[in-house]
Amino acid sequence: MADASNQGGPPSTRTRLPLGDVRVLDLSRVLAGPVCCQVLGDLGADVVKVERPGAGDDTRHWGPPFLDDDSSGGDDPNGNGPSAYFLSCNRNKRGIAIDLEQDSARDVLDGLIRRADVLVENFLPAALAKFGLNPDRLHTLNPELVVVSISGFGRTGPLADAPGYDLMIQALAGLMSITGERDGVPMKVGVAISDVLTGLYAAISALSGLHGRGRGLGGAECDLALADCTLASLVNVVQSTLVTGQRPRRYGNAHPQIVPYEAFATADGHLVLAVGNDRQWQRFCRAAGRDDLAADERYATNPDRVRHRDVLIAELQREFAQRATEAWRQRLSDADVPHAPVVPIDEGIATPQTQAREMVQTVTDNAGRTFRVLASPIHWNGLPSLPVAAPPALGEHTDAVLREWLGFDADEIARLRDCGAIA
């Protein structure tokens, strides 16, 4: 594994983190792969993101919003910094720019592969062959390399060669069919959830491969499909179909098997009620001043409430509309009934709980721009927090990585830059 003293970030901090001696080569673009590698970087790995000179990851230009920086020109031809999209999934990485269309650049890439512990890629099969990244060749270069391949539909099956974007996958995996109002149109989730879920599964796969190396099982090869990961995320809904053979329906903000478990309009907003068991139901009824509902046999147990959902929910909707959100919060808190107000994101990131967890941190990039980014949700008790590093500028660390990983000197780096192989 890598010499932690050569990695980005304070060595004394990195070496105390779980992946402080791991090198990750990030050949992925857009979201799923970058999320995977960001998690590994959060855990201390030296993650090197490889991008095309002059353009970089497509998401650098997916805006607005951009991080404005008219003085330097930034990553966008209109004079902006990188997009908020790019910033969201590339913290704690170093960035290099290599033109893989050139033979000399591919020689550099081969050298990086030999020194890496994990490689993450999301190329289509044709590009894998073109750049010499097929699994057999990768393991010839580095027999211990953990390879994590991410694609829309996986490397097998009739759709193996097809590109897959998050919206397509949400549609094909069935997620859109169960999302949206009961009588409305199918809806996607508000973020690219298929990509995010796949990125997390990919990070788990990489960690499993690293663990296997310690048991003599080097050279693990992981095949992650957005379609598979999205289908797996449907858990109880899919299992209900497997058990009953029936097609699930949309429930809006409600739950198919728990009642009441949904959002209600109050006199001045919206509040989520999450009654998970019959004891909580009884406490809710007392808090609402509705002993009649508590005594009603139609609602005595959760299966009863599910069977009589429509009548009960209509009654609760009338009840919630009579009081303001804060009044309901006080009553439900006093009764220890799970609930939450529906808040916009700008309020959510400003709550005392979010601040206490240090989920938003301020960083400064190489252009001197100071801005806020999300931090890792992983907190290690007894270990120092790795300072969040700003997402890299395009090619920001090319020279440093070639020196540290490959031992290149200034003349070798200059030669590669002069011929356009690196930037």
Domain boundary among 342, 368, 386: 342
Cα(53)–Cα(422) distance, integer angstroms:
7
Q: Is residue 237 in a domain? A: no
Ranges assigned E (strand) in 276-420: 339-341, 360-364, 370-374
Residues 26, 64 share a domain: yes
Q: Is residue 330 in a domain? A: yes
Domain boundary among 319, 342, 365: 342
Residues 126, 11 share a domain: yes
Give the neighbor-by-neighbor strand order of the sheet with 270-274. 261-265, 270-274, 339-341
| 44 φ/ψ sector (left φ>0, alpha ψ -120 to 50, else beta) | left
Tokens of 68: 């404005």
Residues 277, 387 share a domain: no
Tokens of 295: 């005594």
Ranges assigned E (strand) in 310-359: 339-341
**Does residue 81 contact residue 66 with C-beta atoms inside 8 Å?**
yes
Q: How far is CA 263 from CA 112, 278, 300, in A?
A: 51, 19, 21
Q: Cα 168 to the chain's mean position, in Å? A: 18
Please name which of 61, 19, 55 lies closest in space to residue 376, comparing C-alpha atoms.
Answer: 19
Q: Which helix (H) or strand (E) holds 35?
A: helix 32-42
Q: Is residue 250 in a domain? A: no
Count CB neighbours of 205 within 10 A.
23
Q: How far is CA 389 from CA 65, 91, 411, in A?
A: 20, 6, 29
pLDDT of 69 reads 55
The catalytically annotated residue of 195, 304, 365, 418 is 195
Whether 69 sits among the annotated catalytic residues: the reply is no
Q: Which helix (H) or strand (E) holds 274?
A: strand 270-274
The whole domain housing 290 covers: 261-342
The domain that contains 305 carries what CATH number? 3.30.1540.10
Between the two ends of the chain, the Cα-to-Cα distance in Å is 27
Residues 213, 317 share a domain: no
Amino acid of residue 196? V
Residues 314, 188 share a domain: no
Helix boundaries (H) for 142-234: 166-172, 193-213, 226-232
pLDDT of 9 reads 47
Q: Cα 205 to the chain's mean position, in Å? A: 14
Q: How far is CA 218 from CA 16, 46, 204, 207, in A?
A: 24, 19, 16, 12
Count CB neighbours of 209 within 10 A.
22
Cα(407)–Cα(414) distance, integer angstroms:
14
Residues 364, 328 share a domain: no
The domain that contains 82 carries what CATH number? 3.40.50.10540
Q: Is residue 410 in a domain? A: yes
Q: Is residue 215 in a domain? A: yes
Residues 368, 323 share a domain: no
337's CB contacts (< 8 A; 6+ apart) are 273, 275, 280, 283, 284, 287
> Phi and psi (nearest 5°) for 373?
-135, 160
Q: Is residue 53 in a domain? A: yes
Residue 264, class by beta-carbon neighbours within 10 Å (0-12 exposed, 13-18 middle, 19+ buried)? buried
Q: Is residue 195 in a domain? A: yes
Please name which of 65, 24, 71 lies closest in space to residue 44, comparing C-alpha atoms.
Answer: 24
Residues 225, 118 share a domain: yes
Residues 219, 122 share a domain: yes
User: How many structural domains comprise the chain?
Assistant: 2
Residues 222, 187 share a domain: yes
Please name which of 305, 290, 294, 196 lies closest in space to residue 255, comparing C-alpha atoms.
Answer: 305
**Does residue 24 contact residue 40 with C-beta atoms inside 8 Å?**
yes
Domain boundary among 309, 342, 375: 342
pLDDT tens, per residue, the chain with 423 residues? 654 433 444 445 666 789 999 999 999 999 999 999 999 999 999 999 999 999 999 999 999 999 975 544 446 555 568 999 999 999 999 999 999 999 999 999 999 999 999 999 999 888 999 999 998 999 999 999 999 999 999 999 999 999 999 999 999 999 999 999 999 999 999 999 999 999 999 999 999 999 999 898 889 999 999 999 999 999 999 999 999 999 999 999 999 999 999 999 999 999 999 999 999 999 999 999 999 999 999 999 999 999 999 999 999 999 999 999 999 999 999 999 999 999 999 999 999 999 999 999 999 999 999 999 999 999 888 876 667 999 999 999 999 999 999 999 999 999 999 999 999
pLDDT of 72 reads 43
Q: Is residue 423 in a domain? A: no
Cα(26)–Cα(29) distance, integer angstroms:
8
Residues 271, 194 share a domain: no
Residues 317, 372 share a domain: no
Residue 70, class by beta-carbon neighbours within 10 Å (0-12 exposed, 13-18 middle, 19+ buried)? exposed
- The pTM for the full model equals 0.91
